[in-house]
């Protein structure tokens, strides 16, 4: 199994997605960071709290989890696109071993995305307000938000990989993840918050300590995320075992 995982790590570092996706995530998070810093300066001038501005800048880095999940989906679905998934199964020894290895490698990649969000998020909190003459105000809540961004990136990567196993098509996997994250889940949260708080991405809002109302407690949010991942793993494993692999 160790050699299978090492082989999947080499595949994950092949191509351009391993640096394009973190770069794109960093770019979007930085855009949000400067937006929060600019609006935060206006709020501070009006008597607002520096701590709240720093916390909002930290939350800007939660977007990294979207790119983490896309990395997981591409890691799996591109093998269907190139027709190499059958050869990968033969080399891995079984379909289940390949599924487990890719899920593990996706989780490792998610940890890399999360650490990037944590490091750059902390740096952004420290320097983003300086352009407007505002000093950062780190609190325990700031670090909990940054750790939540890290956790969401770690958990989103295997979710994306399992979506890739279920859908199989790269374009459809990417489109499904983006649609669920940016349109469906947020739309349902606006229409039916009591129901939507049990959706995966909305549960992640609790983990990075969003200030929206009607969110789950953090322990319950982790339980909901674990249930979604377990259900997706079951579905992916069943489909991989019962459907033609190519």
DSSP state string for 37-93: HHHHHHHHHTT--HHHHHHHHHHGGGGHHHHHHHHHHHHHHHHHHHT-HHHHHHHHS
Give residue 194's pLDDT band: very low, low, confident or very high (50, 70, 90).
confident
Looking at the chain, the whole-number percentage of residues with pLDDT higher than 90 is 55
- Average pLDDT over the chain, rounded to an integer: 90
For residue range 31-79, what is the model confidence (pLDDT) as tens digits?
999 888 888 888 888 877 888 889 999 999 999 999 999 999 999 998 8
Residue closest to 99 by CA, chosen among 243, 233, 226: 233
**pLDDT at residue 240 is higher than 90:** no
- Report the predicted TM-score, pTM, of the whole model to 2 decimal places: 0.91
Predicted confidence at residue 41, as pLDDT, reads 83
């Amino acid at each position: 199994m160790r050699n299978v995982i090492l082989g999947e790590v080499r595949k994950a570092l092949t191509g351009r997605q391993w640096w394009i996706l973190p770069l794109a995530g960093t770019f979007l998070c930085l855009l949000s960071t400067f937006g929060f810093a600019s609006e935060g300066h206006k709020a501070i001038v009006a008597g607002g709290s520096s701590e709240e501005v720093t916390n909002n800048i930290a939350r800007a880095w939660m977007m990294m989890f979207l790119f983490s999940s896309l990395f997981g989906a591409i890691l799996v679905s591109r093998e269907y696109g190139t027709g190499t998934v059958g050869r990968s199964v033969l080399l891995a020894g079984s379909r289940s071993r390949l599924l487990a290895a890719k899920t593990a490698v996706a989780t490792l990649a998610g940890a890399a995305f999360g650490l990037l969000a944590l490091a750059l998020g902390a740096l952004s909190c420290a320097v983003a307000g300086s352009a407007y003459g505002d000093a950062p105000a780190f609190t325990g809540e700031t670090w909990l938000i940054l750790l939540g961004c890290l956790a969401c990136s770690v958990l989103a990567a295997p979710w994306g990989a399992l979506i890739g196993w279920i859908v199989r098509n790269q374009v459809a996997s990417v489109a499904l993840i983006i649609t669920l994250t940016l349109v469906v889940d947020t739309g349902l949260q606006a229409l039916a918050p009591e129901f939507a708080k049990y959706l995966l991405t909305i549960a992640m809002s609790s983990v990075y300590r969003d200030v929206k109302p009607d969110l789950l407690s953090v322990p319950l949010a982790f339980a909901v995320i674990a249930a979604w991942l377990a259900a997706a793993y079951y579905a992916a494993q069943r489909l991989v075992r019962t459907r033609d692999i190519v």
